A = this chain, B = another copy of it.
Amino acid sequence: MKRIAIDMDEVITDAIGRFAEWYKRDFDIEFTEEQLSSKRFRDLIQPEHKDFIRDYVFHDDFFKELAIIPGSKEVIRDLHEKYEIFITTAAMEFPNSLLPKVKWLKDHFPYISWTNIVFCGDKSIINADYLIDDNVRHFKRFIGQGVLFTASHNLKEDWDVRVNNWQEVREMFL
């Protein structure tokens, strides 16, 4: 059985959605879906807000109950029948994200066992056939095939294997 490793933020969890939600709360400025998907969040906001926004991720509530990326629930459920699925997230950068991420996975993907959840940093430590991730930096030393999941911050990245949404993941693997 081939093994697929799947990242969390911007692949199955909508962290940018949380940034947008808190930015509206704090500065009363709202962005459209179109804006959020076509430009990096840091290029959308007022330059003088950048330092303030950067600290959001260190707040205990930031990673709690994030929205789910559309299609991920259904497609991963089907992938799970034919592949070994591991969730592999660079969570060690933000220790405050560890427990919210455990809870989020239990809520949204209860059939993914604790044995198949990996919190790491450098993803070259992952032994899998495929890695679906929004950061090309994780592919550089990865042992398998990196599959770039489109996010606003990687639109200009040059990578030969790219999927734009979960429907395209389904088409690639099933």
Interface residues, chain A, CB within 8 Å of chain B?
Answer: 3, 5, 86, 88, 90-93, 95, 98-99, 102, 113-122, 124-128, 143
Contacts of A143 in B (CB 8 A): 127
List the 7 closest pairs (A to B, CB-CB), nearest first: A115-B121, A127-B127, A115-B122, A119-B119, A92-B114, A118-B120, A98-B98
Contacts of A115 in B (CB 8 A): 90, 92, 120-122
Cβ-defined contact, B124 with A114, below 8 A? no
Inter-subunit contact A114/B121 (CB<8 Å): yes
Q: Which of A3, A93, A116 has the most CB of B within 10 A?
A: A116
Q: Which residues of B contact A120 (CB under 8 A)?
A: 115, 117-120
Tell me which residues across on chain B come within 8 A of A127, comparing CB atoms. 124-127, 143
Extra 18 A-B pairs, beta carbons < 8 Å, given A118-B120, A119-B119: A86-B122, A88-B125, A92-B115, A92-B118, A92-B119, A98-B98, A98-B99, A98-B102, A99-B99, A114-B121, A115-B121, A116-B121, A116-B122, A117-B120, A117-B121, A118-B121, A126-B127, A127-B127
